[in-house]
Amino acid sequence: MIDIRKDRGSFRDPRGSVYIARDHVYRTVMPRAATDFDAVRSTAAWEELLRKQWVLPEDKVDPEVLGDTGKGAIYVLEHPKLPYISYPYEWSFPLLKAAALLHLDVHLLALKDNVTLTDASAYNIQFQGPNPVFIDHLSFRPYHQGEFWIGHRQFCEQFLNPLLLRSVLGVPANNWYRGAQEGVDVSEINRLIPWRKKLSWKMLSHVSLQARFQQASIDNSKKNNVIGKRKLPKEAFIQMLSSLRSWILKMEPADTGKTVWVDYAETHSYTDQEVAVKKQFVHDFVHAGIRTVWDIGCNTGDYTKVVIRAGVDRVIGFDADQKALELAYERACSNELPFLPLFLDAANPSPMQGWAETERMGFSDRSSPDAIIALALVHHLAIGRNIPLDQVVSWLVGLSRSGIIEFIPKNDAMVQKLLCLREDVFDDYNEDYFLKSLQSRARITRTKVVSASGRRLVCYER
Amino acid sequence: MQNKLMVMIMAIIVNLLFIKSAYAYLDPGTGSILLQGLIAAVAGVTITGKLYWSRIKDMFSRKAKKHGEPPEKD
């Protein structure tokens, strides 16, 4: 009997749960969900959602696969296992925007056949490369004439408001989102956005009015009863969804124009020839056993592209720079790369959090790659963030059994830049100590100096 | 366009009515539901309006048919 465990984030919906068994993902459909489940599956819209790959595929399997765990379930579904689970607080602006648009598109298509969604959680969307996919198969149920959009507030808090934070105020939502989990509260975004930015019908209704009505209901609970008798015509429901869609489609980050980023990938302190040597070294590192790579400090994805070209199946990139992440996303889309660039402050990675501190998994608890690449990263942590060099190496080696780490010596221009305004207290920051730290944890398989300043790339295996 | 104007006027009234701040526990979805109630009311007006408009249009198009085109066969 294989080890089966319930997904720790799957407990809110009594209509079914998700179970993980090694490389398989199963979902139980409990009796209370059966009628809705069958009704939705008989529609053409459902077929189309699957055909367009907007919803993750599902296969009905023998409930016996789950043994006693599956007892009481009407159906057991199997889904393909996603290589990496990411959370909205790790998404850059264009990822959150893509997720929001998919959510609306899925809902609009479903409504064509009178199917609606029970909620609007951003956690129900995952990414395969840069492409979003809807993963909560029990969120779908038949639509009843005149019903309200129950997920509207949740959509605003988990998609719309975080997008407004960046597109109107120029503030990335990641840190706020990570703290609040459920997104940005309606009343909070209403307080932040200045009145002169609210002079549009969309802003007025979804932000100001919603916040004001919420406030109003504290003073006058009778209104709720009046509203309870009112019906929202289907065409008004669809209009709400499609106007949100066209609004979000036009949103761009307010703090930067696209033209500013063009030079972004080009700014580095070494020559083209040195870059070519570095790329060749990274290319040669890849072998058949490496399928998933994490690129820690991926920037705009220059070296991600190299390892993908060299034959890896997918790269999950991590960086703390929003502009670099946005450029990386564009590159992934335009070159159709299996590349998902995510927001990560390596000195403060996503923790285990949510209910019981297990609902959302920490950065390194989710999965483990076949290899990591950490280029031009170590000095940011060791000098930029005062993390002892030995601990930086230990953390990186702990993430994967193999990888490439770049060490940049103190005399390099980039390190000098970090040191120019502060006292050099980093006595241990030297190549010898770096190599010694690495050797105490792993075997060094290849190494090469790739720049005149003495930057060194090191491959390790443990 | 008229509907949007009407809602904007209502919005301003509502904004003026509830300017005090309060911190109390409530169902966090109430604001959304109330907003949709308003949208439903506006949509109701729109649909009624459209119905009358199409009746008026029908009236004129029937007249036009009588004058110009031959009556359709059953």
Q: What distance, in Å, lies between the first and last C-alpha atoms of chain B?
A: 40
Last residue of a domain, one of A79, A100, A135: A79
Q: Please tell me the distance in Å from A5's CA to the nearest CA on chain B.
A: 33
pLDDT value for B7: 61
- Non-local (6+) Cβ contacts of B16 within 8 A are none
Does the beta carbon of B22 lie under 8 angstroms from any beta carbon of chain A?
Answer: yes
Domain span at residue A19? 4-79
pLDDT of A388-436, one tens digit each?
999 999 999 999 999 999 999 999 998 999 998 888 999 999 999 999 9
Q: Do A337 and A331 meet the contact criterion of CB atoms below 8 Å apart? A: yes
For residue B21, what pLDDT band results from cuts at 50, 70 and 90? very low
Q: Is residue A437 part of a domain?
A: yes
In order, the DSSP letters of A381-397 are IIIIS---HHHHHHHHH
Chain A / chain B CB contacts < 8 angstroms: 108
Q: Is A232 on the interface with B (CB under 8 A)?
A: yes
A52-61, A133-142, B40-49: segment of lowest average pLDDT: B40-49
Q: Are residues A229 and A297 in the same domain?
A: no
Contacts of A341 (CB under 8 A, 6+ apart): A92, A130, A298, A301, A304, A317, A318, A319, A325, A328, A329, A332
| Statement to judge: residues A100 and A17 lie in one domain | no
CB contact under 8 A, A233 and B15: no
Nearest by CB to B36, from A152, A217, A218: name it: A152
* Residue B56, min C-alpha distance to chain A (Å): 22
- Examine the fold and report which residue of A37, A57, A79 is the final residue of a domain before the chain moves on: A79
Within 183-202 of A, beta carbons closer than 8 Å to B belong to 186, 201
A225 at B interface, C-beta within 8 A: no
**Which has more pLDDT, B42 or A342?**
A342
ipTM associated with this complex: 0.75
A437-447 residue pLDDT tens? 999 999 999 99
Residue B74: which pLDDT band, with cuts at 50, 70 and 90? very low
pLDDT of the residue at A390: 97
Which residues neighbour A455 within 8 Å (Cβ) at sequence distance 6 or greater? A270, A274, A278, A406, A407, A408, A409, A412, A449
A137 and A230 in a common domain = yes
pLDDT tens digits for range A356-367: 999 999 999 999
Is residue A258 one of the residues assigned to a domain? no
pLDDT band of residue A354 (cuts 50, 70, 90) is very high
- For position A331, which CATH number holds? 3.40.50.150
Give residue A131's pLDDT. Answer: 97
Which pLDDT band, with edges at 50, 70 and 90, does A47 fall under? very high
Task: State residue B60's pLDDT score.
Answer: 80
CB–CB contact B18 A227 (8 Å): no
| pLDDT of B50 | 79
Instruction: Please check whether residue A34 lies inside any domain of the structure.
Output: yes
> Which of A75-79, A96-100, A219-223, A406-410 bottoms out in mean pLDDT, i.e. has the lowest?
A219-223
* Distance in Å, alpha carbon of A154 to nearest chain B alpha carbon: 8
Q: Look at A240 and B36 and tell me if their CB atoms are within 8 Å.
A: yes
Distance, CA of A191 to CA of A152 (rounded, Å): 19
CA-closest candidate to residue A150, choices B43, B44, B42, B30: B30
**pLDDT of the residue at A261:** 45
Least CB–CB distance from A153: residue in B24, B32, B41:
B32
Do A345 and A431 sit in the same domain of this protein?
A: yes
Which among A250, A275, A293 is the end of a domain?
A250
- A461: enclosing H helix or E strand: strand A456-461
pLDDT for A9 equals 85
Over residues A147-160, mean pLDDT: 95
A67 and A92 part of one domain: no
Local structure of A133: helix, strand or coil: strand
Smallest Cα distance from A210 to chain B, Å = 5
Contact A235 B4 (CB under 8 A): no
Q: Which residues of chain A does B29 touch, with a Cβ-Cβ cutoff of 8 Å?
A: 150, 152-153
Closest CA to A329 of A127, A166, A159, A176: A127
Q: What mean pLDDT is reported for chain A? A: 93
If asked whether residues A297 and A387 sit together in one domain, one would say: yes
Q: Which residue has the higher pLDDT, B33 or B67?
A: B33
Residue identified by tokens 């109701």 is: B44
Same domain, A268 and A341: yes
Structure tokens, A39? 């009704």
β-bridge mates for residue A78, sequence order: A26, A59
Contacting residues for A443 by C-beta, under 8 A, at least 6 apart:
A460, A461, A462
Q: What is the pLDDT of residue B6?
A: 64
Question: In this structure, is residue A125 part of a structural domain?
Answer: yes
Cβ separation A210–B31 shorter than 8 A: yes
> Would you say the pTM of this structure is higher than 0.90?
no
- Report the share of chain A in percent with pLDDT over 90: 84
Tokens representing residue A37 in the block: 């489940």
- Judge if A239 and A276 occupy the same domain: no
Tens-digit pLDDT profile for residues A196-235? 999 999 999 999 999 998 888 776 665 555 556 778 999 9
pLDDT by residue (tens digit) across B55-70?
Answer: 888 888 765 554 544 4
pLDDT at residue A171, rounded to an integer: 94
Considering the domain boundaries, does residue A98 fall inside one? yes
Lowest-confidence segment of A37-46, A77-86, B20-29 by average pLDDT:
B20-29
Q: Residues A84-112: what's their mean pLDDT?
A: 98
pLDDT of residue B2: 57
Residues A295 and A425 in one domain: yes
d(CA A361, CA A355): 11
Q: Which tokens in the block code for residue A360? A: 């959302």
- Is A134:A55 a contact under the CB 8 Å cutoff? yes
Cross-chain CB nearest to B47 (options A204, A211, A233): A233
- Looking at the domain assignment, is residue A257 inside a domain? no
Q: Are residues A117 and A64 in the same domain?
A: no
Q: B51 in contact with A at a CB cutoff of 8 Å?
A: no
Q: Which of A190, A200, A214 to mutate to test the interface with B (most CBs of B within 10 A)?
A: A214
Q: Lay out the sheet containing A292-296: strands in order across.
A: A339-343, A314-319, A292-296, A371-374, A402-407, A456-461, A443-449
| Residue in A closest to B16 by C-alpha | A212
A94 and A149 housed in the same domain: yes
pLDDT band at B46 (very low <50, low <70, confident <90, very high): confident
Asked if residue A255 belongs to a domain, the reply is no
Cβ–Cβ contact A391 with B under 8 A: no
> What distance separates the 2 farthest-apart alpha carbons in chain B?
70
What confidence score (pLDDT) does residue B17 get?
A: 46
CB–CB of B15 and A208 under 8 A?
yes
Q: Does B29 reach chain A within 8 Å, measured CB to CB?
A: yes
Cβ contact (<8 Å) for B43 and A236? Answer: yes
Q: Indicate if A219 and A330 belong to the same structural domain.
A: no
Contact B36 A224 (CB under 8 A): no
The reply to whether A412 falls in a domain is: yes
Q: Is B16 on the interface with A (CB under 8 A)?
A: no
* Whole-number Å distance between alpha carbons of A377 and A405: 8
Tally of domains within chain A = 3
| Residue A345: per-residue pLDDT | 96
- pLDDT band at residue B28 under the 50/70/90 scheme: low
A281-298: average pLDDT: 96
DSSP state of A68: G
